[in-house]
Amino acid sequence: MKKGSGQKPSSESRNLRGMELADRGWLDEAVREFTLAIEADPSLPFPRINRANVYLQQQRFLEALRDMLQAVETSPADAATHYHLGTCLARFGHEMATQELQQARQLDPDNVDVLVQLAVTQAEHGDFPAAEQTLNQALRVDGDDPLVHREMGALKLDSGQVHQSIVHLKRALAAWPDDIDTLLDLAAAYIQAGFYQQAEAHLKSALALEPKCLHALYNLAAIYADWKKFELCRAHLEEAARLQRTVVCQWLAGDQLFDGVRQFDWFQALLSERCGEAPQS
């Protein structure tokens, strides 16, 4: 642009200037340039994408997501816009979810659904202390809510607090006797605690509700292997393998409960002949 020409900077030049400012760490100034670039030509997607990337650095996640979505709407046939949106969600999806759930908790501190979802999000990323603290808050709000007890039981199970897990999962199951996830988690907790008979009963209940339940079949096979009930072990394990052969063989690789059956021909055949095949539905 010639000095004194009276021309306004173009959208492209504003966008380039914003990129230079962002590279120098001048994020607020970069946002202003990208905003002017968008105002100069709203049809261009990249000023929005670049502004979104600055917003992400500033942890302004909602604004970043809005820009990314608008960029895709502006250029739906441009692979780059979908790439940047996907990258944004892959890298910052957890932070976005956590920030919004924390905002919801501030607005409604006694909303149990919000607290449970926040705890689940925290636990999924390994922050067990924060998840437990959040679930304890939910229990203070409603100590009888079976959903809270189920999630607390699952959290305690994942963190190795087996006996506390059993207490919470039993509370959940009393309210939801036909809930498959609760039955399976409680059975897993009983197995870890060494209470095989209780685990067997809950796994059979799960199978009665869902005859092709992979986890129930596999865990029953594990119990029967450790009990030396080899035919029952074989029957349940082969049924599980028919459902998801590759997955079952991955589980078997490090499962010590099956050490007592590894010498049998049928077990070796299952590993060598079936585990190379694709899973069957």
**Confidence at residue 135, expressed as pLDDT on a 0 to 100 scale:** 97
Q: Within its chain, how far is the Cα of 40 from the centroid?
A: 40
129 and 228 share one domain: no
- Same domain, yes or no: 105 and 197: yes
Amino acid identity for residue 271 in this structure: L
pLDDT at 273: 63
* Last residue of one domain, picked from the residues 205, 225, 251: 205
Identify the pLDDT of residue 197.
97
Contact by Cβ (8 Å): 172, 191: no
Give me the number of domains the chain comprises. 3
Looking at the structure, do residues 171 and 223 belong to the same domain, yes or no?
A: no
List the domain range (segments joined by +) for residue 246: 212-281
Clarify whether residues 227 and 278 are in a common domain.
Answer: yes
174 contacts: CB under 8 Å, gap ≥ 6: 146
Beta-carbon neighbour count of residue 268 at 10 Å? 12
Domain contains 192: yes
Which domain-ending residue is among 181, 205, 229? 205
Find the helix or strand (DSSP H, E) in which 34 lies. helix 27-40
Residue 117 and residue 57 share a domain: no
Positive or negative, the CA dihedral 25, 31, 32, 33 is: positive
Assess if residue 88 is contained within a domain: no
What contacts 37, CB < 8 A, 6 or more positions away? 11, 12, 14, 15, 18, 44, 47
- Helix or strand (DSSP H, E) at 263: none
Q: So what's the pLDDT on residue 161?
A: 95
Separation of first and last alpha carbons in the chain: 64
Confidence at residue 274, expressed as pLDDT on a 0 to 100 scale: 52
Average pLDDT of adjacent 10-residue blocks, the chain of 281 residues:
54 94 96 96 94 94 94 93 92 90 96 96 92 97 97 96 97 97 98 97 98 98 97 97 93 93 92 55 39
The reported pLDDT for the residue numbered 271 is 83
Global confidence as pTM: 0.78
Residue 135, domain CATH:
1.25.40.10
Return the amino acid letter for 226. D
Tell me which residue of 35, 81, 78, 76 sits closest to 55, measured CA to CA.
Answer: 35
Pair (160, 219) in one structural domain: no
Q: Which of 17, 40, 74 is the last residue of a domain?
A: 74
